[in-house]
Each structure stands twice: as C-alpha cells, then as structure tokens.
Structure 1
Amino acid sequence: MRELVRTRIGWTDLPGHVRSAVEEILGDRVVEAVSQPGGYSPGTADRVRTAAGRRAFVKAVSPAQNARSVALHRAEAAVTAVLPAHAPTPRLLGYHDDGEWVALVLTDVDGRHPATPWRADELDAVLGALETMAAALTPSPVAHVPTAAERLTHDFTGWHRIAADPPARLDPWARTHLDQLRHAAERGLVALDGDTLCHLDARADNLLIDATGTVTVVDWPHACRGPAWLDTMTLLVNVRLHGGHDTDALLRRLPLTAGVDPDALTGVYAGLAGYLLDAARQPPPPGIPTVRAFQQAQGDALLPWVRQRLRDRTIG
C-alpha cells in the first residue's frame, strides 16, 4: 500500500529564480517537466527535459511546504555529492540553496518502482543491488553522517513513550510485553555498529528498476554509517508489509544477514516497530498528510513478526 502525496508542488510552482538556477546547472532551458508519484515530500519531484534533449531529475522545496523537508534536501545533497560512481545510486549534477529554496538536480533514471506486492524476480534484483551497494559503500565514503546508533537512538525509545502513554488501539500482546519490547530495542541499538554507508529507508518507492533490470537506490537524506546488513533487513519491512514472501527464510538465506545474530535482528525490528507505532499517533507533518497512515501500516505489519521472533527465540 503506497500512499501518494496529494499536496506536491510542481516545476511551474517554483519561483523563477529557482527554475533559472536549475537551467543554469543543466546549461539549457527546461521545456518539459513531468511530476513523479510516490514518496512523502511535498516539494517538487520532476523528471525534466531541456531544449537540447538533456534529461534530469529535479527535487526542490522551501519551508512554506515543510521545514524539515528543507533540512532533508540539504542532507541528501551533501551525501549524494560524494557517492562513488560505481554505487547503484544517482549522481548529483548540481545544487541550489538560496537560504529558502533548496533544489537538487540529479541524473535521471528511466525506471519504475518495483511492483507491490513484491515480485520474486524484482525482489531478487533489489536484494542483489543492496549487496552490491553495501560492498561499494564500505568503508563509508562519507565521514560527516551520523552513525546508525546516533540516528536511531531517539526512534528506538518509541516503546518507552508508548509505555508512558499507551494509545487506545495498542495491540494487546504489546501492552503486556512492553518491558520485553523495550529491552529488545535496546539490544538492537547496540548491534548497529559498522562502517558501511547505509541508506536507512530502503523500500519500494525509494527504488527504481530500468528496462534492463538495473536497480538504482534513490533518496538519501537519512544516510548513516552502520552495519552492511542494515539496508537489506530494513527492506524486508516493506516486503513484510506487502506480503507474499517468507521474510525469516530470506534473513537466513541472504549473504548479508545469514551470519548476523538473530537476537540483534529481532532487536532492530523491535526498535523500528516501536518507532513506527509511536510516530503514527502524532499529528501529520505540514504538507504530508498521508505519512502517519503509512507508518501505522508498517508498524501493524512489523509487530506480529517481532512477536513471532521473540516467541520463537524464547521457545528455542
């Protein structure tokens, strides 16, 4: 279930000086712009074509749409600018920041999002790309990003906030196992050591597959340094959400996760579930009305898996 942004602005909504800055980066006049669906930013997301036929992808936002999106665009520009050419990621062609509007001009990927529910062939292609990406981004080529533990410390205390103020619709099992969930999330946080540059938001709408089957991982504002297996295991949250695959079997089979302590993986999933279910009950961010429902859906899909993994580990 991919909820689309309904409040996204487009190329023609950008101020003239921002459009001019983009055209200066491209070295030509933009004659076509097609807004792209998916994602949760209220800013532009346009595939553009210039008079000479050059193509690029432009994303731009200002605080008038969402102040946090501005910070995320700046973070993404800083990361994308130094990603190595051999990684399955887009290249940053240029960047405009006038203190209000932030615009990124990236290489255009002529592709589409993977189908959901996930097709087996596309899932295999994406998992292979994440393995290739982890190798390409180890050691991390970006020094200035936080570690995964730093990035997720607050998120992984979601169960503490839920215990202090339980929502009315809290799952009955979770209500009676809050201590176990808190402790599992704490174990997961400790396990997030590593020097791989991680995307941290691998899901279908942040992936593009072109006509040759090549996968590109897009949207890098949440990048961090962590274990090589982190993006693979977080992608499986999206797979779990849409159904149709044995995610436990995948964890045991995939090269990046097969040798990881199962308790560590369970702990990370517990931390993510607490974050999602706590975040879902907050008011929606300005300009992003659908994200809370998406967080709730992910949390609802993830919690039974966490419950199963904790139960199986206790029985075993």
Structure 2
Amino acid sequence: MVEVAEAAGVRVAWSDLPASVRAGVEAVLGSPVVEAVTQPGGFSPGSADRVRTADGGRAFVKAVSATANPRSPGLHRQEAAVTVALPRTAPVPTLLGVHDDGTWVALVLADVDGRHPALPWRTDELEAVRRAYEEVATVPLTGALAALPGTGEQLAEDFAGWRRLLAEPDADLDPWAAAHLHRLAATAARAAGVVVGDQLVHGDARADNLLVRPDGTVAVVDWPWASRGAGWFDLVCVLVNVACYDAEAPVEALVADWLPDVPAEDVDAVLAGLAGYFVDVARRPDPPGLPTVRAFQRAQGGAVLAWLRQRWGA
C-alpha cells in the first residue's frame, strides 16, 4: 500500500462543544445525547460524532466554528442546503436539522451504519461505489438543485494550476512535470469545458467521503462541493483515489470499463486539471485546523502525474 497522509482535521469532542451548541443539536433530535463517539477521517476542523439519544435515537453530528477555520461554517451551510434538497431515494444520508448561531454551524444527519472503504481499494467495494455514483448522476436537478453552479465554472480556477506554475516556476517541481509543463497546461485548459453537463456531481469523491453499509451498498457523504455537470467526473476522481493508494492498480482498465463513451482526450484534460490543482495547492501552508491536507494533496498530485505519464507514454 502506498503511504499517504490520512485525511484528518483537528477534531473537537462532543463534550467540548459549547453547551448552547449541544442544546441546539438536542433540540433537533428531540432527546438528550447520552453517548457520542468521535469518528476518524475527513478534512474538517470540527466535531464529527455518531450520537445516541436517551430515547434510543441515533444520528451523526458534525459541528464547526469560524474560529477553527473561517471557511468551514460556510461549507457546512452549503452542505446543508444541498443535502436537504436531495431526494430520500438517493444514496445519501438524510439531513435531520441544523443548528446555526452565526458562529457555530452543526449539521444533524441520519446515522449511516457503515464504514469507509478498505484501502487499498477492494474490487467489490469499488464496484459498489461506481453504482452509487451512477445513481447520483441520475438525481433530477429540480428545486434548489437546479441552482447548483456548473462543475466547470466551479473548478475553473482549480484547473488552472499549471498556468500558475508557468507564471511562477517552482524549482521543486517534479522533473517529468517540469519537462511537460506546457503540454500539461494546454491539456488542463480544456478541463472546465469537458465537465459541462446536466447531471448531479458530488465533486469530492474519495474514500473518506464514502460509507459501505453491511449489505454492501454505499452512501455518499459530505456535499458542500455539489455542482451541475458531467457525472463521469466523480468516477474519474474515485479512480484518482484508487491510484493514490495503489500505484499498481489497473486504473486504465477501469477507465475502459467505466467510461467507454468518454473520449480519451477528455479524461486526459480532467487528469491534467486535477494534477495541476493538487501540485499547485500543495505548495501552500496548511489551512487552520487541517494539518495533513497539503501532504494528502501532494500525494494525489504525484499519483495523477504518474497516471498521466503512463497514458502519454512519455
């Protein structure tokens, strides 16, 4: 297994949340919380607890404040807006309610009896994830979902990482990437255009945002980056995660199986765009409360570059 910095934020225990936040969550649940178990993984600098209430109810609660990270409350609000608009038939947890006092934002979601996929990825779990994302792509974009931003529009600046690296050369850049910088930039310049579409896109497809239930089905969690675009983008991101944890994974065979109708140059464009984003953003300091995110992005960038090198035979 490839060594990868695990997704990890600076977790806040349920007992350490302000009393007013805990009371707000319990008001949503309709019963006092008698047990809370902190969940590992995920890039959020707040709480993440599976809770049990006095009346036997169960839920998942995630809470964050602007003090931990100034962007995180806004992301929780966006996730709430998306999740409440998703149909109950979609493979996602149901939003039970929100506590928002202007500083702390707590999402109360139905508890999913599940675990993250095994890493390196197992074939059966990978197929279950594929089916879940294919189901996500069929969700009708009605109501609030119709107002989601376009995937290409949302990711245009992220996909411009190689352009920034051309303008600001980095002496530590991977030698292969440095030798192919202009080709990478030109290929990535197409990425925002090829992910245009009218399907629901999760936009954050990786193992720590997926839960495998005991029956083998998968729930897709964490929805702040949802957009309207080409559903196959999520499948490419899953395969990036596969490559990140297993350098020998048959990702090319999986592309041929999963995306037979997607032109190879469009897959190249997305891979180049993602690689540019990961390599560029990994140069920055860790954001507040997220001590491992840059190392994780750096590992993903290396995995995508290795994959592109294989595809291009260069």
TM score, norm. by length of structure 2:
0.95
Runs of 4+ in 1 over 6 A off after TM superposition: none
Aligned match of 2:254 = 250
Amino acid paired to 2:268: T
Determine helix, strand or coil for the equivalent of 1:52: coil
Distance, in Å, in 1 between the alignment partners of 2:142 and 2:158 is 25
Distance, in Å, in 1 between the alignment partners of 2:235 and 2:82 is 20
Distance, in Å, in 1 between the alignment partners of 2:78 and 2:263 is 31
Alpha-carbon displacement from aligned partner over 1:77-103 (angstroms, at most 9, x marks no partner): 010011011110011000111111101
Contact 1:87-1:137 within 8 A present in 2 as well: no
Q: How much does 1:150 deviate?
A: 1.1
Distance, in Å, in 1 between the alignment partners of 2:149 and 2:181 is 28
Question: Which ranges of structure 2 fall in alignment gaps of 5 or more residues?
Answer: none
- Does residue 285 of structure 1 match 2:270? no
Distance, in Å, in 1 between the alignment partners of 2:113 and 2:62 is 16
Q: How much does 1:228 deviate?
A: 1.9
1:153 aligns with one of 151, 156, 169: 156
Question: Which ranges of structure 1 fall in alignment gaps of 5 or more residues?
Answer: none
Q: Which sits farther off after the overlay, 196-205 or 300-309?
A: 300-309
Q: How much does 1:74 deviate?
A: 0.8
Alpha-carbon displacement from aligned partner over 1:196-249 (angstroms, at most 9, x marks no partner): 111111111100011111200000011111112111111100001111431111
Distance, in Å, in 2 between the alignment partners of 1:39 and 1:217 is 13
Distance, in Å, in 1 between the alignment partners of 2:83 and 2:31 is 23
Aligned match of 2:229 = 226
Please list, as runs of the form range in 1=range in 2, the aligned pairs for 1:7-156 lying within 5 A after superposition.
7-137=10-140, 142-156=145-159
Distance, in Å, in 2 between the alignment partners of 1:172 and 1:193 is 32
Amino acid paired to 1:248: E
Please list, as runs of the form range in 1=range in 2, the aligned pairs for 1:167-316 lying within 5 A after superposition.
167-243=170-246, 244-254=248-258, 257-311=259-313
Q: How much does 1:251 deviate?
A: 1.0
Determine helix, strand or coil for the equivalent of 1:81: helix
Contact 2:48-2:61 within 8 A present in 1 as well: yes
Contact 1:276-1:295 within 8 A present in 2 as well: yes
Q: Which sits farther off after the overlay, 130-139 or 169-178?
A: 130-139
Distance, in Å, in 1 between the alignment partners of 2:39 and 2:171 is 37
Determine helix, strand or coil for the equivalent of 1:109: coil
Amino acid paired to 1:208: L
Amino acid paired to 1:245: A
RMSD (Å) for aligned C-alpha atoms: 1.5
Distance, in Å, in 1 between the alignment partners of 2:128 and 2:144 is 24
Report sequence identity in percent: 55
Determine helix, strand or coil for the equivalent of 2:170: coil
Q: How much does 1:252 deviate?
A: 0.9
Determine helix, strand or coil for the equivalent of 2:280: helix
Distance, in Å, in 1 between the alignment partners of 2:171 and 2:282 is 13
Amino acid paired to 1:51: A
Q: How much does 1:138 deviate?
A: 5.7
Contact 1:152-1:189 within 8 A present in 2 as well: yes
Distance, in Å, in 1 between the alignment partners of 2:142 and 2:177 is 38
Contact 1:30-1:49 within 8 A present in 2 as well: yes
Alpha-carbon displacement from aligned partner over 1:248-274 (angstroms, at most 9, x marks no partner): 1111111xx210111011101100000
Amino acid paired to 2:265: D
Determine helix, strand or coil for the equivalent of 1:113: coil
TM score, norm. by length of structure 1:
0.95
